[in-house]
Amino acid sequence: MILSTHETNINNLATADLRSLAKCILAYADNCPMHDIEMSGYNSQSGYTYIGVDNGITIGSFAGQDVEFIVHDFETGEETFYQTYLAAVRHVNL
């Protein structure tokens, strides 16, 4: 499991972003601990803290808000946001 963030020092995250990271870790533990974490980080352009899982789903949270489960289409660049992990899994398995 990767707990360091890419290009971001975890000590430099704001309080809300640290809450986001905690929510992402809890969502990972609750939904998909059998999968490996491939990346984690903070996107300064979008404001999302995220964990990328090896099944193609990213768990993200913006400014301490509830997590969203994100599926990225690498062909189109489109991201689809889901409120539940199961909905994201269904999208990946289409």
Can you give the pLDDT of all 94 residues of the chain as single tens digits? Answer: 444 445 556 777 889 999 999 999 999 999 999 999 999 989 889 999 999 999 999 999 999 999 999 999 888 999 999 999 999 999 998 7
Segments making up each domain of the chain, as ranges: 10-92
Q: Which residue has the tokens 């984690």?
A: 40
Q: Which bin fits 46, alpha (ψ -120 to 50), beta or left (φ > 0)? A: alpha
Q: Report yes or no on whether pTM surpasses 0.75.
A: yes
